[in-house]
Amino acid sequence: MAWDIEEVDGCAVVRMNTNKVNVQNDQFFADLHGAFDRLEAESADLPVVLTGHGDVFSAGIDFQYSFDIFGSGDEQTIRDWYRNYRETNLRIFRYPRPTVAAVNGHAIAGGLITALDCDFRIAARKPAKFGLNEVPIGIPMPAAYVEIIKYALGEQVGALTTLRGLLYSTEEAEKLGFFHEIVAPEELLPTAIAWAKCVGPDCNTAYAMSKTALQDSVMRQIEERTVALDALIGKGMSDPGNRRAQDRRRVEIMKNR
């Protein structure tokens, strides 16, 4: 199902709806690229608000799907999967218009990275969990994502959240600086739209050029480190210890279904 795109008060509101909790798999990636293709073709001058539905922004990568790839032992297949995943994140990260994540609920692992790809993040003040729990379940964090995380959260918080892999409450995430503002659920979309309209259409080029300049060192790092470090992802993913951790997580998922 293609993501919904609606123009609201001079802003393109994109609602992710690949599946119930927006777990991220090949279909999610295709839907994301399809949505941004449409934005570029039909709404190129508009700022963008990205949101989910219900109580979940995105639950992160589809473990059942991805663990089959990770457990295949085929290093090239794993590297190809990560390359596709990296391209979806960079599609948001480098988009030349203001982008705001209207975080309507849980944003976990890859789901939180999707929010961090956006220029600004507004969250609903309600019970939810946020965090980067890849490492404790046996998934090496790719270097490209580490650069995005550090850009969005700073090096100290980026290292803390990546290496410990904890899930945080809304209040704890607020203290760590995950969000630029937290508002009542009914104010989430209006507030996100207001943030997205931080500049008028006449200043789109100024915004795009400034964003590119701000991200220049990040992109240089990604281009250089992706070659050197992310080439090792397949081998790291096939590590016996990581495989055992992934299998434990798979069992936990099946028990909770």
| Residues labelled as active-site residues | 134
Taking alpha carbons only, the member of 50, 46, 44, 47 closest to residue 3 is 50
CB 16 within 8 A of CB 53: yes
User: Which residue type is seen at 244?
Assistant: R
- Residue 203 to residue 147: CA distance in whole angstroms: 27
SS3 at position 165: coil
CB 16 within 8 A of CB 31: yes
Say if strands 120-124 and 4-8 run parallel, antiparallel, or are unpaired.
unpaired
Asked whether the CA dihedral 14, 114, 106, 70 is positive or negative, the reply is positive
